[in-house]
Structure 1
Amino acid sequence: MPASPHEALHRIFQRRTELLSRVLRNELGMPVPDPVKVEIMNVDLTDLEPVSRWVDSLLMLHYPDRQVIVAIESQTNKSDEKRRRWARYVAHLHDIHKCDVLLIVTCRSAATARWAEKTYAVGLPEWDTLTVTPLVLGPTNVRAILDRDLAAADIHFAILSAVVHARSQQANAILEVLSDALRDIDEQEAVGLAEFTESGLGRGRARDIWRTLMATRTYPYISELRAKGREEGREEGRAEGRAEGRAEGRAEGRAEGREEGRAEGLAEGETKGEIRGEIKSILLVLKGRGLAVSEEQRERISSADAAQLEKWLLHASAVTTTDELLA
């Protein structure tokens, strides 16, 4: 599971290693064959001396007649320091493994992509000792997957497309297509990929859109996600209930008080967890649809009972204002 959009832009190639060859051919126009094997390598390039070299993702492509190491870096902003590191990565890998090295930089920003694709030269103006020219994947050369059949045919590339285009005006359409395509694969795999996508989108409009889709669609894998969220809420509630029960029992100093406290705490905790999940879902749907929620309305939603919350959640995707929902 990625921790950020930074990781999603390179770990997608680890999750489905054969994706790289398709991207090289179809997105970058490189006539490369499919490798016999793709090996995920250790990304630690540290020497015995304390000089650390950590590449975001590192793959080795095994062909019948050669091996090619591919270093994949996801880049958010321009950085001269990263250019120097890329030169060091490439030189180090070429020296240690004695094979060809390819550097790929993935970006969500078109401006950063334009910066990254420029050749970086090490040496004198009259003579370049070393030049590094990355292959760059960004919004200008990674297709926006807007067709459900295309997304279903290559679900991992569809996720890469969604993450790369998270800031574009097409994000809504791309994510709707992706959410539809996920229903055609194994349910458990779809749950994992849906969570991976959410992490990769990062904070912002695209993640709000994705969460709204996950809260309002009725596909089996989305039901599994909701069940998982409810269970997490119940577990939090149980934990709180146990703590409250133990505290109450200790305060009374009686064994029967502790037992009653635990039992009441567990039941109360489960209810609290479910209610907390319903409140979060309603606010998420309203936010994803761009509907304003005042502090007074938020307080009213947060203080409602389970039956009322369930009713509001069913209608949250259809109303045009928050006032209409709470009427």
Structure 2
Amino acid sequence: MVSSPHEAMHRIFQHDPHLFSRLSGLLGLPFPAPVEVSVMPTDLTEASPVERRLDTLLRLDSAKDGSLLLAIEAQGKKDPAKPASWAYYTAYLWTKYGLPTALLVVCQDRGTAEWAGRPVTSGPPQMPTLTVQPIVVGPHNMPVITDPAEARADLALTTLSAITHAGDPDIGAILKALSSALRDVPEDVADPIIEFTAQGLGNRPAREVWRNLVAVDLSFYTSYIAEEIRDEGRDEGRAQGNADAILIVLEQRGLAVSEAVRERVASCDDPDVLRRWLVRAVTVASAEEIFTENEA
């Protein structure tokens, strides 16, 4: 039951809407005097259902520190409306479950990651009532995993490394390490990693690199993407696709590609040779080295 003191403590501000302006001066708050003060409706109930969904929500239980909730959001670009949504999510979860709630935002480019990591407050600068401060994961702080042994030790982390670095020059080396690490793991473990990686790379040139690495390094698997690649490999024109992928990888890595290299790659119509060149393109120090047999 609402008590009289409760009502009095807030209704006095309805009675004299300018009371806060005077109070802020007494409290030493640098709050400017308002031109107008309006009493707003206090009912925050939504008249119609509004669908609000997190991308992923985890509950983390610890014997030492108790439980907490981790809300995970994937953010592909800057969105001025997002901080308000994140504030709603975390406040709602805190209210519903009564547990500390953290927010993790995963990004694929540095600009979005920098934007997402900035604290945003719901109140004016003088009264930062509610501050949203996500934990941000992106290419700025995710490790670049290029050692197959390290990749094998944590396949999921390496997959996230590949996804967050999808647009970086190092992506080819990460993908090569991941495909190598998957060679000796059970197929039911490798399959979701293969698919998650392909999805995370989107339509970037790195997706074609990954598809070809799967076809070469993991040719014995029957995952959807592996079967798709092998089926496409039987189609006419696949050689041209591999040739384009080789040149894209070399250029993305910042290597100089001479006309001689371009002509030799473009004139090759042997899918097996092109795949070997594509694998080498991920790690060679110069474009010409893709033709050297001992550069695997």
Match of 2:173 in 1: 173
Runs of 5+ consecutive residues of structure 1 not aligned to the other structure: 1-46, 234-273, 292-310, 321-327
State the Cα distance separating 1:49 from its structure 2 match: 3.8
State the Cα distance separating 1:219 from its structure 2 match: 5.0
Number of aligned residue pairs: 218
State TM-score, norm by structure 1. 0.59
Query: CA 1:113 to 1:60, structure 2 compared with 1: closer, same or farther past 3 Å?
Result: same
Match of 1:115 in 2: 115
SS in structure 2 at match of 1:123: coil
Indicate yes or no: 2:207 matched with 1:212: no
- Greater relative contact order, per chain length (Cα 8 Å cut-off, separation 6+): 1
Indicate yes or no: 2:150 matched with 1:192: no
Contact 1:151 1:181 in 2 (8 A): yes
State the Cα distance separating 1:281 from its structure 2 match: 4.2
SS in structure 2 at match of 1:212: helix
Contact 1:211 1:284 in 2 (8 A): no
Indicate yes or no: 2:235 matched with 1:278: yes
Measured against aligned partners, the alpha-carbon deviations of 1:61-109 in whole angstroms (never above 9, x if no partner) come to 1223522110001111111101110011111111111110000001111
Query: CA 1:78 to 1:128, structure 2 compared with 1: closer, same or farther past 3 Å?
Result: same
Distance between the aligned counterparts of 2:68 and 2:200, measured in 1? 27
State the Cα distance separating 1:187 from its structure 2 match: 2.1
Contact 1:55 1:73 in 2 (8 A): yes
Contact 2:194 2:225 in 1 (8 A): no
Indicate the percent of aligned positions where both proteins have the same amino acid: 34
The alignment yields a C-alpha RMSD, in angstroms, of 3.1
Runs of 5+ consecutive residues of structure 2 not aligned to the other structure: 1-45, 249-268, 278-286, 288-296
Of stretches 155-164 and 282-291 in structure 1, the one that deviates more from structure 2 is 282-291
Q: Which has the higher helix share?
A: 1
Measured against aligned partners, the alpha-carbon deviations of 1:264-306 in whole angstroms (never above 9, x if no partner) come to xxxxxxxxxx8x8433643432222128xxxxxxxxxxxxxxx
Distance between the aligned counterparts of 2:205 and 2:197, measured in 1? 14
Match of 2:49 in 1: 50
Distance between the aligned counterparts of 1:123 and 1:227, measured in 2? 52
Distance between the aligned counterparts of 1:173 and 1:75, measured in 2? 25
Between structure 1 and structure 2, the one with the greater Rg is 2
Contact 1:183 1:219 in 2 (8 A): no
Contact 1:69 1:99 in 2 (8 A): yes
Contact 1:229 1:277 in 2 (8 A): no
Indicate yes or no: 2:79 matched with 1:79: yes
Query: CA 1:53 to 1:280, structure 2 compared with 1: closer, same or farther past 3 Å?
Result: farther
Letter in 2 for 1:287: D
State the Cα distance separating 1:225 from its structure 2 match: 5.7
Distance between the aligned counterparts of 1:218 and 1:132, measured in 2? 43
State TM-score, norm by structure 2. 0.65
Distance between the aligned counterparts of 1:54 and 1:160, measured in 2? 22
State the Cα distance separating 1:224 from its structure 2 match: 5.8
Distance between the aligned counterparts of 2:202 and 2:228, measured in 1? 19
Measured against aligned partners, the alpha-carbon deviations of 1:82-138 in whole angstroms (never above 9, x if no partner) come to 111001111111111111000000111111111111101011221121111000001
Distance between the aligned counterparts of 2:225 and 2:134, measured in 1? 41
Letter in 2 for 1:161: S
Query: CA 1:124 to 1:179, structure 2 compared with 1: closer, same or farther past 3 Å?
Result: same
